[in-house]
């Protein structure tokens, strides 16, 4: 710098002299003071400048002293450390998005949010390669650009001019695509939007799912030097994590679909079994279905979880399946049952349990069926269980069964109606029937306009 004018070495209004002049301004009020600041030169060098104005006895400026220490390497190391911290934070937040994700679109959007808001990139978007005639790319998530804007660009991974964009090339080849001077290396159709967004470079990474690149992640930066080796390595790792997350979501969706089909098949089978019982006992046709519906309504009124309600519905639908072992002439007899006939009827809970216990339900259906005629005071059958020894579902089913049975017609008697049935359970709540279940049942009929 020897022999060169000061303003050629240091930027305008910046540098040691600026610090010195600031010290002169302060000298009127304060003692001589050293100013310290960092000076960045146009060539990229960074100096730590310590400047002191030397004043005479009258407090006037005599000269200045400047000590400059080259901290360029230290500054680069500090910037790299900040960049690594940013990248590690981005990876951490990306992993959190993976753990929380419930579907592909949510995962894609959360990932893009993390990359732009925490990663420091200008734009990020994730696209799904479609298998339609135009080989279009469907945006799944985006940040820094609107989803509608992306959809309107007509993005494609076809081997034509528009498909030469980084995103299309990435999907088509299954390889990362890095563009350091994006406005000059992009198809003409996309140049205007690139300028409007202010992006200068981009990195598109393939997400290998089901052994091929069907999803793509594009990250764009506003400068030429942000996507360096560290960023590329980190983003490649994140793309691999994202691909894994999408694969897991698809596997889970397939499993849930299979389970749903299995549940439907089990539902149909149980309904068919219930219909078989009703064919032998036409007078109680619909009884199991109505009891199941009332039991579920009671459980929901009690605020019980939906999973328990579903198990209760399954048990209620087949709670009298054991009657298939009871002779048809007893079931349809118009005369009052003899004591011996009633003893035969009382075998149906255990018979139902024997039929159902070998089926792998997700709920204790067989036990609920076995206990649905038990009473809190131990006077029920077939085991004479008391209070909490009876499953909650069975206690609810018992209330629904009594109400429906009393309200409906039987071969040997007319129906009593709903209100006598409600009086029966109200009179015996806490002694024969569960208090909470009875209370919920009464609210349904008296306040909620429930009807059988």
Q: Is the peptide bond before 429 cis (omega within 30 degrees of 0)?
A: no
Whole-number Cα distances in Å, 289 to 264, 313, 347, 442: 17, 9, 21, 20
Q: Which helix (H) or strand (E) holds 438?
A: helix 435-446
360-373 confidence digits (pLDDT tens)? 788 899 999 999 99
What's the mean pLDDT in 93-116?
A: 82
User: Of the ranges 20-24, 34-38, 307-311, which one carries the lowest mean pLDDT score?
Assistant: 20-24
262-295 confidence digits (pLDDT tens)? 667 667 677 777 777 777 666 666 888 899 999 9
What's the mean pLDDT in 400-428?
A: 86
- 3-class secondary structure, 36: strand
371-385 confidence digits (pLDDT tens)? 999 999 999 999 999
Find all residues with CB under 8 Å of 274, minimum gap 6, and list them.
288, 289, 317, 318, 321
Residue of 149 and 219 predicted with greater confidence: 149
């Amino acid at each position: 710098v020897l022999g060169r004018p000061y303003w050629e070495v240091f930027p305008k209004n910046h540098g040691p002299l600026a610090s010195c002049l600031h010290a002169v301004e302060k000298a009127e009020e304060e003692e001589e003071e050293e100013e310290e600041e960092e000076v960045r030169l146009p060539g990229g060098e960074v100096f730590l400048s310590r400047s002191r104005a030397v004043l005479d006895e009258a407090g006037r400026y005599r000269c200045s002293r400047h000590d400059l220490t080259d901290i360029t390497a230290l500054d680069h190391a500090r910037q790299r450390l900040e960049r690594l911290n940013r990248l590690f934070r981005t990876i951490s937040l990306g992993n959190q998005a993976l753990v929380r994700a419930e579907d592909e679109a949510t995962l894609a959007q959360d990932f893009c949010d993390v990359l732009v808001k925490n990663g420091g990139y200008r734009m990020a978007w994730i696209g799904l390669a479609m298998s339609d005639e135009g080989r279009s790319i469907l945006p799944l998530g985006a940040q820094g650009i609107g989803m509608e804007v992306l959809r309107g660009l007509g993005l494609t991974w076809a081997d034509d001019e528009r498909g030469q964009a980084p995103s299309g090339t990435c999907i088509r080849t299954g390889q990362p695509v890095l563009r350091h001077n994006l406005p000059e290396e992009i198809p003409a159709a996309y140049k205007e939007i690139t300028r409007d967004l202010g992006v200068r470079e981009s990195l598109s990474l393939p997400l290998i799912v089901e052994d091929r690149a069907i999803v793509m992640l594009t990250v764009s930066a506003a400068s030429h030097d942000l996507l360096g080796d560290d960023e590329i390595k980190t983003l490649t790792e994140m793309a691999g994590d994202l691909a894994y997350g999408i694969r897991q979501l698809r596997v889970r969706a397939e499993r849930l679909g299979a389970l749903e089909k299995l549940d439907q098949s089990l539902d149909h089978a149980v309904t068919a079994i219930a219909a078989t019982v009703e064919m032998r006992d036409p007078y109680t046709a619909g009884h199991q279905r109505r009891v199941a519906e009332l039991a579920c309504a009671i459980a929901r009124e009690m605020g019980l979880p939906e999973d328990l309600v579903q198990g209760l519905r399954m048990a209620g639908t087949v709670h009298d399946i054991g009657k298939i072992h009871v002779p048809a002439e007893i079931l349809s007899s118009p005369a009052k049952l003899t004591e011996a006939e009633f003893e035969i009827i009382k075998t149906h809970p255990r018979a139902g349990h024997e039929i159902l216990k070998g089926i792998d339900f997700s709920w204790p259906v067989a036990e609920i069926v076995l206990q649905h005629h038990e009473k809190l005071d131990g006077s029920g059958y077939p085991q004479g269980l008391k209070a909490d020894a009876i499953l909650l579902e069975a206690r609810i089913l018992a209330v629904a069964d009594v109400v429906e049975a009393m309200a409906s017609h039987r071969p040997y008697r007319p129906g009593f109606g709903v209100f006598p049935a409600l009086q029966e359970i109200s009179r015996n709540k806490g002694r024969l029937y569960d208090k909470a279940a009875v209370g919920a049942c009464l609210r349904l009929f008296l306040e909620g306009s429930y009807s059988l």
